[in-house]
Amino acid sequence: MLSPHWYVVHELLSLLRSRERRAARAPLDSGARQARDDAAYTLCVLMGERTIAAAVKAAEHYLARSRQAVLPAVAAAPEPAP
């Protein structure tokens, strides 16, 4: 099974949160609501979940696992030669 790159998940989760704040500030703005819904739908599809809450939770868990896998590898990488 293919997994998304952690950076894509991070950016999409950030975008969704930004659009949620925008929609909350302007509840009558249909464009803001549509932008939020589009980001939420994309995150749901990317994470394979049916609800926004489940997709956000899955994305947060995915990012936590990705950080645990990436950080030790970065720390163990040799320094480049001068």
DSSP 48: T
Angle of CA points 39, 68, 5, to nearest 5° = 35
The whole-model pTM stands at: 0.79
pLDDT band at 73 (very low <50, low <70, confident <90, very high): low
Q: Number of helices (H) and strands (E), helices first, in the chain?
A: 3, 0
Find out whether 41 and 32 touch, Cβ atoms under 8 Å: no
Three-class DSSP category at 23: helix
Amino acid found at 73: A
pLDDT in tens, 20-56: 999 999 999 999 999 999 999 999 999 999 999 999 9
Tokens 């480049």 found at: 80
